[in-house]
Structure 1
Amino acid sequence: MAVKSSARRLAFMLVALVASATLGSAPAAATELSDYRWERRPLLVFAPTDRDPRLVETLSRVEATRCDFVSRAMVLGLVVSEGNSALDGHAVDAGESKRLVNQFAIAENAFTVLLIGKDGAEKLRVNEAPDLQAVYALIDGMPMRSREMSADPGRC
């Protein structure tokens, strides 16, 4: 049991490190969600612990579709009750984590994934590891994204 737990923790740390290093970065070490407005589309993952299997699965899916994720100007935010929270690879302190939980009315120990648009508004909320192809299709249907694709039609 301890070996399985250690392997899961190691897998999570590796995925988190790869995700934070490869998913792009916002302007100069943004530390609050508002720092991304009009620049990036945050995908916020709220989880009870940093070992939650749904969180690990979500990180794995993001890594598997990294080019699609980055090409849509997305950043990853991890907000965990037990463990380390981060926004685009930058540590988020407990106060900011609690503020995000309250702002988005996340129940205690809930697993919730939110897509936040460049305008700062919530665009999608799911309570399971998200289908990223559906998330990407939702983004691609947004007017701002349509303009981005017209300006730079390069795809993964």
Structure 2
Amino acid sequence: MKRLIPFVIIGLIAAGAGAETIAAQDEPPIFQPANEVDLNVLLWKKRPVVVFADSDFDPAFIEQMELLEQHQDELRIRDVIVLTDTDPQARGAMRLKLRPRGFMLAILGKDGRVKLRKPFPWDVREISRSIDKMPERRREIRERKEIQGNIIQ
């Protein structure tokens, strides 16, 4: 019986990893236009990172999107959804709520509140650190460690 325990643990860990891969495939795309997303639907599920610019050709917007696209896995781990708005004339709900002037990066918590605003592009490492300091994220990390501890015991 004792010989089976390591195999059972390895099987559970492997099954969990497979489930995460399947879940990631079923999730909506990480990048979406802000005007197609209702923030109320995201409450307590996702952390919106909203990128505003006055044009798709804004150099700061282009740089920010490249930075975000390079590290999608880091964002996905933190339940981030990246919303973009490059049309000030459309006056979308997100733009009216956050009132950007030119380029702006805004990080919202799962509670829908603005946690951080930046008028220049930010690296995913900086975004991740900022998110990891949020109380809700700390709770998620703590709970994941408790679950992993229970599986190993």
- SS of the residue aligned with 1:119? coil
How far residue 52 of structure 1 moved from its aligned partner, in angstroms, is: 1.6
Q: Where does structure 1 differ by over 6 angstroms across 4 or more consecutive aligned residues?
A: none
User: In the TM superposition, what are the counterparts of 1:49-128 in structure 2 within 5 Å?
Assistant: 49-81=55-87, 94=90, 97-107=91-101, 110-128=102-120
CA–CA distance in structure 2, aligned partners of residues 150 and 144 of structure 1: 10
Query: Which amino acid is the alignment partner of residue 81 of structure 1?
Result: D
| Counterpart residue number, 1:138 | 130
Could you say what secondary structure the match of 2:111 adopts?
coil
Report the equivalent of 1:86. Answer: none
Shift of 1:49: 0.9
Partner of 1:25: 28
Q: Percent identity?
A: 26
Paired with 1:132 and 1:31, the residues of 2 have a C-alpha distance of 22
Report the secondary structure of 1:70's partner residue: helix
SS of alignment partner, residue 147 of structure 1:
helix
Cα distance per residue 1:55-103 (max 9 Å; x no partner): 11111111211111100000010001279xxxxxxxxxx4xx5222121
Partner SS, residue 44 of structure 1? strand
Alignment gaps of 5+ in structure 1: 1-21, 84-93
* Aligned residue pairs, count: 117
Alpha-carbon distance, 1:105 to partner: 1.8
Q: Which amino acid aligns with 2:75?
A: F
**Could you tell me which amino acid in structure 1 is paired with residue 127 of structure 2?**
V
Q: Cα RMSD (Å) of the superposition?
A: 2.7
Mark the runs of 5 or more structure 2 residues left unpaired by the alignment.
1-24, 149-153
Q: 2:6 is matched with which residue?
A: none
TM-score normalised to structure 1 length: 0.66
